[in-house]
Amino acid sequence: MILVIFLNLIAVGLAVVLPNDFLMWHSYTLYGVQIFTILPYLSRKARFSKNLFLPTFFVAIYYLVNLFLGSYLIPRDYGWNKEYTSVLLRIENYNIIVPFLLLSNLILFILSIQSFHDLNKATFFMPSEKRLRDKSLSHYRQLIVSFLYCIIFFAVSYFDVYSAFSFQLAILILHTSTLSRQKNKFRYLIYVFYVVILLGFSYENKREIAMALFLLVFFEAYYRRHTLRMTFKNIVRYVSIVLFFFCLVLTASILRGYGFEATSVISAVKYLPDYIVSDIVVDMLVDNFEINYSYGSSVTSIDMVIEEDIKYQYGASLLKILFLPLPREIFPGKPKSVMQLYTQVYRPDLWSIDGSLPVIFASEMFINFHYFGLLIYGFVFYILNKLFLTFHLTPPYCFKSYSAIFLFMTILMFARGSGIEQWLLYYLLAVPILVMPMLFTKCMKSISNSKPIMSLVQT
């Protein structure tokens, strides 16, 4: 651990003293140092596959991959959105920006080490096989319950209700938290059904499809207690999951257009080989995985604060969650999110048509407090890691457990810069669905404990 921290601090020091032009073109080498020191070390400490979803580790992977690929590809004019290339090549503050982003990743590393230690020494609530079988529904009842869940999920997706993903993910949590505990093979057909429905009706939202897939993978890893050992079987399993994830993203992209006229999920899948071997596949991948936006916005937003195009917020973007119920028409002084501030200054034309550009949480903390934002950054992710531990120490099928998994499974939304208020709003909209099992259970207990109607009449 000490060696990893030492190597990363050297990378931070180099980012401070190296010429700005070198960092402009070659900062990917410093992010590469972090990838090849932080991720292997954490993977070894995680022990179980489920622990890969620890918020700090999951976000570290997301940030490092985006920063590494973005710092190499975007200055070299890859991707369809070319505007960031010229902007990034004009920035003169890389000696401030790169060290900050490197330190933010180092904080995620340190927090992950402590959380893995807590997870591995804790006594998890894992029912024995006998109790698992005793509490399982019969095969036919499972089919009926699954059918009802699938119908509700299809209806929510088909009618595209307001904030559909909040309800979709809540339904998935309620159903698959039970389904994934069972050993019936038909659960895989249910998983395929959910994924196909998401592809068919939500292909515009690749992140939502990805989060749903992550949920399914997490539950399978959690209840089967898969270990992170590099056996042949595990390697095949990991590679298959990664390839399946890439195929999902690419299929959703084909359904959105990108030079192909696919009218259904099946026809989109047929276009995958042509998509992969096309001349513009790298540009499409950069765009599909939002590398240009995530890297471009993370760097330019910090630069705009340094150049005083955006004022320091001093925590206003975090306090915005306190004003969620108040419309701006009633309270004009309501704080703006960093996403709003950045888009209004950087792309006012996009903002005028209700568009917005996300700013990763690390950059948001710089916009609020400069380098002191790293303290708040570490505290917030410390709390998020506690959510993950809470899920492990809480009995299943309760509101607390459902809430914890909803929040840490949507961490991608929070980390990529949608704003803490939007992340929490998605959860609040899902609460009515998450409390339904408890309400149903209480209702059934009340009915069973009440006297029969005839006995009440006789008395």
Q: What is the pLDDT of residues 372-398, one digit of tens each?
A: 999 999 999 999 999 999 888 888 888
Is the confidence at residue 137, as pLDDT, over 70? Answer: no
Residue 251: closest CA among 191, 192, 188, 206: 206
Summarised one tens digit per residue, pLDDT across range 69-86 is: 999 999 998 877 778 888
**Is position 193 within any domain?**
no
Q: For residue 209, is it within any domain?
A: no
- At 255 the pLDDT is 76
Residues 244-273: what's their mean pLDDT?
Answer: 74
Residue 312 maps to a domain:
yes
Confidence tier at 448 by pLDDT (50, 70, 90)? low
Place of tokens 């993203």: 249
Determine contact, residues 98/23, Cβ cutoff 8 Å: yes
Q: Which two three-digit tokens encode residue 319?
A: 């306090």
In a domain, 138, yes or no: no
Window from 45-59, 343-357, 368-382 with minimum mean pLDDT? 343-357
> What does DSSP assign to residue 451?
P
Query: Which pLDDT belongs to residue 457?
Result: 38
Indicate the average pLDDT of the chain: 84
Q: Is position 188 within any domain?
A: no
pLDDT of residue 458: 45
431 belongs to a structural domain: yes
Asked whether the predicted pLDDT for residue 131 surpasses 70, the reply is: no
- Helix (H, G, I), strand (E, B), or coil: what is residue 227? strand
Give domain status of residue 207, yes or no. no
Domain that holds residue 93: 2-125+288-436
Phi then psi for 203, rounded to 5 degrees? Answer: -65, -15
Cα(271)–Cα(305) distance, rounded to whole angstroms?
A: 43
Task: Give the number of domains in the chain.
Answer: 1
pTM of the model: 0.86
pLDDT at 167: 93
